[in-house]
């Protein structure tokens, strides 16, 4: 919800925007440099690949204007690389705002891109991908090449998506990166809240706090309800090992743990960008950049 906030106050919901360049890598003019731009409802991600291998990426918050967000995040990904827009052989746009990526040669659905990106991050063994973004939950099945074989998504309701977490971070004054850990800090798991409608999240949480629930309990109850919603979607599409989680909520330990609990399965360990690994949040952008490479090569042949 957009509410006017005091500029001086800490914005607990604000997650970290960052950019990463793989320093060991260099590029030459004849290299196939492609980019994927994933404009999500909450976060915008851009990835640059050199000959199909990751070179740099950037993650930032999506502004109210999709084309502007796409330009900004791609610039961000290219920061400190000497690359400019003209060096990019092919750009694919994806995500909620994919039709509004001005420099894109083509737009591809985020379903296809996430499967492809998960295949790149975790390898060919991945079969089920759960992507939880700001407004979307997608459960995707794919084959060993990362091609989508079936999927389901929440096209009618935002309940259980990442947006609710931002509201809680603000309300409970807990930095969003810490929300997951805090939610796990309960002696006994409370029953899940009955309603995960994002529009009612705040009132529901305040009600529980007034009843004397601790912040941890409130978060645990809401996180559990979200995890159940997500797990239902996975069950409906059919859970097949190996299973991975992508998108912003893949960084929420409280969500991941509870999904594993509800589905009685372990997810493949996620790389950690803070220690030099990839980021499951850019799976869609990686997929888009991989499609960009394939499309570029196809065009060259014709």
Partner 1 sequence: MISKSEKLLTITIGIDLGTQTIKVVILKDNLVLTREKAVSGFETSKVAKQVIDEALKKTKLSINDISHITATGAGVQMAPNPNSTISMMSADAKAGFYLFPKARTIIDVGAEEARAIKCDDNGIMVDFVVNERCAAGAGAFIEAMARAIEVKMEEMGPLSLKAERASSINATCVIFGESDVVSLIHKQESKPEIARAVFDAMADRISSMVHRLGVNPEVVLVGGVAKDVGFIASLKRKLGVDISIPDYPEYAGALGAALIAAKRAKRNK
Report the residue from 19, 34, 41, 128 that binds partner 1 according to the rule CB under 8 A.
Answer: 41
158 touches partner 1 by CB under 8 A? yes
Nearest residue (CB) to partner 1, 47 versus 196: 196
Report the residue from 7, 156, 188, 301 that binds partner 1 according to the rule CB under 8 A.
Answer: 156
Region near partner 1 per CB under 8 A, out of 59-67, 105-113, 250-258, 266-274: 59-67
> Can you tell me which residue has the tokens 């092919």?
90
SS3 content of the chain, % helix, strand, coil (to 5): 40, 20, 40
Binding mask 128-147 for partner 1 (x = CB under 8 A): -------x------------
Burial environment of residue 211 by CB neighbours within 10 A (0 to 12, 13 to 18, 19 or more) = exposed
Nearest residue (CB) to partner 1, 119 versus 223: 223
Nearest residue (CB) to partner 1, 105 versus 232: 232
E-only strand ranges, the chain: 18-21, 33-39, 43-50, 53-61, 90-94, 106-107, 128-132, 137-142, 148-153, 243-246
Report the residue from 124, 206, 272, 277 that binds partner 1 according to the rule CB under 8 A.
Answer: 206
Phi and psi of 106, rounded to 5°? Answer: -160, 155
Contact of 58 with 1, CB cutoff 8 Å: no
| Touching partner 1, residues 225-264 (CB under 8 A) | none
Phi and psi of 238, rounded to 5°? Answer: 100, 120
199 touches partner 1 by CB under 8 A? yes
Positions that interact with partner 1 (CB under 8 A): 1-3, 41, 64-66, 96, 135, 155-159, 161, 163, 194-195, 197-200, 206-207, 210
């Amino acid at each position: 919800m957009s509410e006017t906030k005091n500029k001086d106050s800490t914005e607990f919901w604000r997650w970290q925007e960052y950019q990463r360049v793989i320093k060991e890598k260099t590029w030459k003019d004849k290299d196939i440099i492609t980019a994927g731009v994933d404009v999500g409802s909450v976060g915008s991600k851009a990835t640059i690949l050199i000959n199909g291998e990751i070179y740099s990426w950037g993650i930032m918050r999506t502004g109210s204007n999709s084309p502007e967000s796409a330009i900004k995040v791609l610039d961000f990904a290219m920061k400190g690389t000497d690359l400019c827009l003209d060096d990019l052989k092919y750009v694919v746009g994806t995500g909620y705002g994919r039709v509004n990526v001005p420099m894109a040669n083509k737009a591809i659905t985020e379903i296809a891109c996430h499967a492809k990106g998960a295949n790149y991050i975790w390898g060919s063994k991945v079969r089920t991908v759960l992507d939880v973004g700001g407004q979307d939950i997608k459960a995707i099945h794919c084959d060993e090449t990362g091609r989508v074989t079936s999927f389901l998504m929440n096209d009618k309701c935002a309940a259980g998506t990442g947006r609710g977490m931002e509201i809680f971070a603000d309300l409970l004054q807990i930095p969003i990166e810490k929300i997951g850990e805090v939610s796990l800090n309960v002696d006994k798991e409370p029953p899940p809240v009955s309603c995960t409608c994002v529009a009612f999240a705040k009132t529901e949480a305040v009600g529980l706090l007034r009843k004397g629930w601790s912040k941890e309990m409130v978060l645990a109850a809401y996180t559990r309800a979200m995890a159940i919603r997500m797990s239902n979607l996975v069950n409906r599409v059919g859970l097949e090992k190996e299973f991975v989680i992508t998108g912003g909520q893949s960084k929420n330990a409280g969500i991941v743990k509870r999904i594993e609990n509800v589905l009685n399965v372990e997810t493949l360990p996620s790389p950690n960008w803070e220690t030099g690994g990839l980021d499951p949040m850019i799976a869609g952008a990686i997929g888009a950049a991989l499609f960009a490479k394939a499309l570029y090569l196809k065009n060259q042949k014709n």
